[in-house]
Structure formats: C-alpha cells, structure tokens
Amino acid sequence: MIDFHCHVDLYPKARAVHAEALRRNVFTWLVTTSPKAFQATSSVLGHHESMLISPGLHPEIAGDRFQELDILIELIDGANAVGEIGLDGSKRYASSYLKQKQVFATAVKRCHDLGGRALSIHSRQAVPDVLTLLREFPDHGIPVFHWFTGTVSELKAAAAQGCWFSIGPAAFNSSAGKALAKKLPKEKVVPESDGPFAQLDDQPVMPWDFEITASLLSKAWAMPLIDVQYQLISNAKVLLDQMGCTTTASLI
C-alpha cells in the first residue's frame, strides 16, 4: 500500500494508526500542518524508512501560525519534502490570503534556493496563484497537487507545468470530483488518503485504503482494476525515485 498525503498524527489513536501504516504500507507521506506539529510528530513517532514526515504550514492556519514561518524555512533545509503548504482562496480564509501567499512564496523560494524539494500542495480556489508562484521559482522541485479541485483548464495548466496529482477516495464524493478524476494525466497520478480529514461513508479514509482509490479510478478511467493498480504503483516508483526515497525496490 502507498499513501502520498496523510495526516497520520491527527487521527484519534494516532500511535496505533502509525504502527498499522508501518505494517501495511510500503510508503506513507505524513504531511504536517505546522512547523511545531512537525517537530512534535517527529519526536513522538520517530524515523522510519517507509514513513516520510515533512514540515509544512497549512494555508488554513497560516494566518494564526504566521510567526512559525521562520521555523518552517529552517526545517526545509534538512528535509527532502515539504507539506502541507499552498494557498486557500475560499471565502472562509480570505482574511489571511496575503499571509498565505507570503508563507507559500517564501517556502517555494527556499526550496528553489536549495535545489528543489518535493511539495505537497493545497490549492483550493487558488490554482492560478499557486502556478504563478511555482513558475517564479522554477527550481522549486517536484510539485504534487493534493486533492485537486480546480477547473479543467487549470488542470491542463498544472499538467503542462509538470505537476503531479495525489488523489484519494473522498475526491469522488462529488460529481465535479468524479469529472476531474477522468481528466487527470494517468502517468502523473499517485494515491493519497488525506485522512483523517477525508471521509468515506462517514468514516475517515485510512492510510492503507489504496485499493479503494484504485477501484474508483478504474471506473473513472474505464480501465481494468489491475491496470490501474499497476499504473499507480509504477507512477509511485517514478515519483519516489525523483524524491530520492529508498523504498522503491519493494514497490514492483
């Protein structure tokens, strides 16, 4: 099993979920919502080859945690991936949008200055601004749009910029999500859970729910399930190779 975007530390009984993810998954990308959360999670859960824990500053809390930006920049130096970062242009977070842009721009620039990092990116109602900032700092690394909800034209623009896309079961809960899933570039898609925030049948999606994602993509892409599974695993291997992760040998 593989999961390219999960908040393992935020599940109820997080230690048990962490242990089960280590048992079941070949690779799990644990994204954090703030630099201090990254520090605490890393301290509590420790280092494991199959669990990548990355420092982030989620745009939904960027206004409240803006003072942690300096910590984030320091942490990026010692990380090979960053997330969750990005922009949220929805009305609910409009008051913090300028701070969000400062956080995201500063983080992307730091990645650019360091020669690139893998980025797990939140882009709700903000895809054009995200893409603009990524273009401004072209050596930022590997952008992975998590749970993409933009327009079809924005999807094409992101794909044209070489972006990856992580998708999980909850993305199929809406008709718009199903329609977008059909148009994702198949060779640039990897599975995610976004648990425990993402829900399926009123239950949090789990880090090992790869088969559910593959099944839903099989319907969206009108491809046999086994072919979709192979495509996702093959994509994961390519992306992990690019990220410099060492777990790829056991994927295929």
Residue 49 assigned ligand-binding role:
no
Residue 84 assigned ligand-binding role:
yes
Instruction: State residue 187 phi and psi, 5-degree precision.
Output: -85, 0
Residue 122 assigned ligand-binding role:
yes
pLDDT-derived band at 250, boundaries 50, 70, 90: low
Residue 48 assigned ligand-binding role:
no
pTM over 0.75: yes
- pLDDT tens figures, 188-230: 999 999 999 999 889 999 999 999 999 999 999 999 999 999 9
Indicate the helix (H) or strand (E) that contains 56. Answer: none
Domain spans of the chain, in order of start: 2-243
* pLDDT more than 70, % of the chain: 97
Pairing state between β 164-167 and 189-191: parallel
Residue 18 assigned ligand-binding role:
no
Residue 194 assigned ligand-binding role:
yes
Pairing state between β 203-204 and 199-200: antiparallel
DSSP 246: S
Residues 170, 148 contacting (CB under 8 angstroms): no
Give 29's strand partners.
52
- pLDDT tens figures, 13-67: 999 999 999 999 999 999 999 999 999 999 999 999 999 999 999 999 999 999 9
Distance between CA atoms of 96 and 83, rounded to whole angstroms?
19
Nearest to 109 by CA among 22, 157, 101: 101
Is cis: bond before 138, omega within 30 of 0? Answer: no
Nearest to 18 by CA among 235, 198, 199, 196: 196
- Angle, CA of 88, 30 and 108, to the nearest 5°: 45
What topology is assigned to 2-243 in CATH? TIM Barrel (3.20.20)
49-52 contacts, C-beta under 8 A, 24 or more apart: 49/246, 49/247, 50/22, 50/25, 50/26, 50/247, 51/8, 51/18, 51/21, 51/22, 51/25, 51/27, 52/27, 52/28, 52/80, 52/81, 52/245
Amino acid sitting at position 34 = S
The distance of Cα 87 from the centroid of its chain, to the nearest Å, equals: 13
- pLDDT at residue 251 above 90? no
